[in-house]
Structure 1
Amino acid sequence: MSTAPTITPVGNTRLTALDTLRGLIMVLMALDHASFFIARVHPFEYWNMGPPHYADTGWFLTRWITHLCAPGFFFLMGTGLVYFRASRLDAGWTEARITRQLMGRGALLVVVSYLFEMAVWLMPDRFSSSGLSMNPMTGGHVPILVLTVLVTLGLTMALCAPLLRLSRRSWLAMAFIAIMAPNFLVPTLRGHDEAAGALMHAFVVPGFSGPVASMYPILPWFGICALGVGFAQLLRNDSQRAMRAMLPMGLAYLVGFVGIRYGGGFGNLMRPEGGGLQSFLTVIKYPPSLAFCLLTLGINLSLLSLIHRAGAWLDPLRRLLSVYGQAPLFFYLAHLWLFCAIRLAVFRESAPDRWVLYAVWTAGLVVLYPACAWFRRLKTARPPESFLRLF
């Protein structure tokens, strides 16, 4: 989730489309994790495994739509970092103080993951013989560095903090290199997984090696965050023009996705199997292939522009989603423990059908809404340097 604080842009006009999109992807993320805990359905689109299989199209779409979440989290964190720096400079902070604050927040994310996130993924397996393992990797000992999404978000924030003064071109160049790297390196490892090593698993491909267990290697996800930083710098120059440009840019990404999938080679990490639409849309997330990045970022950018263009008629939905979007880390931790508790209390040895899953997911969102609204009020009352604002 995007854990950089939402910041009021120049002119004291909040870019509400960013909060709305963040809220939407938080809601979709909750569906994916409810599927994991409640229905025991959570395929992995993994670089060295075969394609996932689904019972029907409904289960495929339930998983597929949630692919928007992780790229959206990292992209929006990049935008948040730029606005955080700008607001603190306006408040008289030095660059060194801003860097220390962001690096401290990144470190805190790592600590929060180790204390509160990792245990919840392992909890169901301790109480149920039918539990789904969150980690498809295995190893003979306990790793020291476990790259969950929260840990990688924290490390990415810390890496970005001292670089925020760089130009937009520099950030876009870093984004290009970091996103493209796995597409060059992964094919050289196929069939030689053991040759990857701890360093490669930490930065390029998921896997388990020595002290490292990785689901979100740092390099490609840093690239998506860097893209968000470059986008935010464009937003600060001319927010209206940048928002309008997001739609043609997003559509261009989607055209690029179609071209890469039809090409079937570079950028896929796994060729489409068969001729159906489901096979065409099944892309590798671990690590994010170029096809995955173009598809998910294309949709995210298009949605961002459409939300901005929608105007006042979208205000009720915007207000609803923004409550989740402005308390992202609080929502993330709370929904994990909520759905885990529901599984252990109600569905310990059973896996309900999809419609029950949707009902539980909706009920969970309803329960968490007032809690998120309360926490949003609590954190906004804190001073700017408060670490409570991280949540």
Structure 2
Amino acid sequence: MGDAVMSEDLLADTATGPIRTDAARRLDMIDLLRGLVIVLMVLDHTRDYMHLGALAFDPLDLDKTTPLLFFTRWITHLCAPTFTFLAGVSIFLQAARGKTGWPLSRFLLTRGLWLVVLEISLISFGFNFAVPFFFLQIIFAMGVSMIALAALVWLPSRVILLLGIVIVAGHGLLAGVSMDSLTATGQILWRLGMQPGGLGVVPGMSVYPVIPWFGIMCLGYGLGPIFAMEDLSRRRAITLLAAGLILLFLILRLPNLYGEPQAWAWQANPGLMLMDILKVSKYPPSLDYTLITLGLAMCLLLALTHLPKLFQAPLLAFGRTPFLTYLLHIYMVHVAAILVGLAQGIPPAHFTNFLGDPSRLAADAYGLTLPAVYGVWLAILVLLYPISNAYARYRMRHRNWWLSYL
């Protein structure tokens, strides 16, 4: 996710390691959460590329899924909104440390452009192993959002918070806009900004339209002052924020009041009913989706600091090197899928242009059981950890300008 998603630099002593200041503890809290969602993201992409049913049905389809498959997919809903929210928080913390005005705007412009370029090149290729194909996901949405935020960081944080609330709460009201009423250029812009889908004559698809995710980044920036508080006050404020987000989700979702286009219905048993209530829209992110995912993310933010150090270590390594870990895992998952395919007698060519034409793999009946997918996921994390940990240590002891781009 790049250093635009990184927050403060660790205060480090090359001989003794990190200095345990409140700023360092705040950074650990953020990096632990970011590391966890990277772990979940690797799980999601491993399932996407290797599960037997990945090309056959939506794992959230209550008529076809199982509870384990449903929650394997559902828990990964936390990834994109948490990354985007924490990016906004990190940008605010940079401003709080004195990087304001043009230096901050320039940082956001260059970092945003860098993320966009990487999304349409190395990242899209890593997912698809074919060009040209533009697979515009969360990195693209975050990059464009940073460019937009570069023009807004001159405003008070409460103004940006209000803008974020308006976008997150209100963008769903535009869901009824008909694509047929737009010109060809207008349709592409609408796909990029508001509604996922194909890009017309441009090969590829927009999966994460920018405007709703920009709203989530504005929320992170606007709520950034919470993360600048001293430790006890910060924890109290995050607790209240988590409770408020989850309570508002329940108020809106249980009576099917507002904020989610897919109404839930009474089911045959409580388990199915719970899954139906939690089945909220990610593409684009509905208000209810944003409330429950960020609410749970704030709960995890508080809980992860109580983990034993043994379990914190890999999360910190991943959380402190988000972009490198993200980029590496894409290629590792795709290559692992090819190896699994070879073991099942499927030619590697069927894994190229996978996103543009998944029919070949669908016809091959390719894939692993869900327990096997979990095994591959853990193996990929084991391979990633020493690389991420080594790079995290290197970053803590060096201040080269190029490190902020990788």
Please indicate the TM-score interval, normalised by the length of the shorter structure.
Answer: 0.7 to 0.9
Give the CA deviation at 1:168: 2.5
Partner of 1:170: 159
Structure 1 residues 120 and 41: alpha-carbon distance in aligned structure 2, compared to 1, 3 A threshold: farther
- Amino acid paired to 1:77: A
Give the CA deviation at 1:371: 0.5
Describe the SS at the equivalent of 1:55. Answer: coil
Partner of 1:37: 49
Confirm whether residue 206 of structure 1 aligns to residue 217 of structure 2. Answer: no
RMSD over aligned Cα, in angstroms?
2.8
In 2: Cα distance, 1:266 partner to 1:96 partner: 39
Partner of 1:378: 394
Partner of 1:154: 143
Question: Equivalences for 1:164-313 in 2 at 5 Å?
Answer: 164-186=153-175, 188-189=176-177, 192-195=178-181, 197-210=187-200, 213-275=205-267, 276-308=273-305, 310=306
Deviations 1:119-171 (A, max 9, x none): 12223xx7xxxxxxxxxxxxxxx78x753211111111121123223223112
In 1: Cα distance, 2:214 partner to 2:300 partner: 22
In 2: Cα distance, 1:63 partner to 1:237 partner: 34
Confirm whether residue 343 of structure 1 aligns to residue 337 of structure 2. Answer: yes
Structure 1 residues 372 and 344: alpha-carbon distance in aligned structure 2, compared to 1, 3 A threshold: same
CA contact (8 A) 2:314 2:389 kept: no
- TM-score w.r.t. the length of structure 1 is 0.84
Partner of 1:21: 33
- Amino acid paired to 1:62: T
Deviations 1:232-251 (A, max 9, x none): 22322445312222123212
In 1: Cα distance, 2:341 partner to 2:279 partner: 29
Partner of 2:309: 315
Give the CA deviation at 1:335: 0.7
Gaps of 5+ in 2: 11-20, 268-272, 347-365
Identity of aligned residues (%): 28
Give the CA deviation at 1:388: 2.5
Give the CA deviation at 1:43: 8.2
Describe the SS at the equivalent of 2:223. Answer: helix
Partner of 1:79: 89
CA contact (8 A) 1:110 1:150 kept: yes
CA contact (8 A) 2:2 2:404 kept: no
In 1: Cα distance, 2:107 partner to 2:67 partner: 45
- TM-score w.r.t. the length of structure 2 is 0.81
Deviations 1:82-137 (A, max 9, x none): 22334453xxxx632332122111111111112211112223xx7xxxxxxxxxxx
Give the CA deviation at 1:321: 0.7
Structure 1 residues 165 and 14: alpha-carbon distance in aligned structure 2, compared to 1, 3 A threshold: farther
Structure 1 residues 99 and 44: alpha-carbon distance in aligned structure 2, compared to 1, 3 A threshold: farther
In 2: Cα distance, 1:118 partner to 1:274 partner: 40
CA contact (8 A) 1:269 1:284 kept: yes
Confirm whether residue 57 of structure 1 aligns to residue 67 of structure 2. Answer: yes
| Counterpart selection for 2:403 from 380, 388, 391 | 388
In 2: Cα distance, 1:40 partner to 1:328 partner: 29
Confirm whether residue 6 of structure 1 aligns to residue 41 of structure 2. Answer: no
Describe the SS at the equivalent of 1:208. Answer: strand
Confirm whether residue 114 of structure 1 aligns to residue 114 of structure 2. Answer: no
Partner of 1:356: 372
- Amino acid paired to 1:373: N
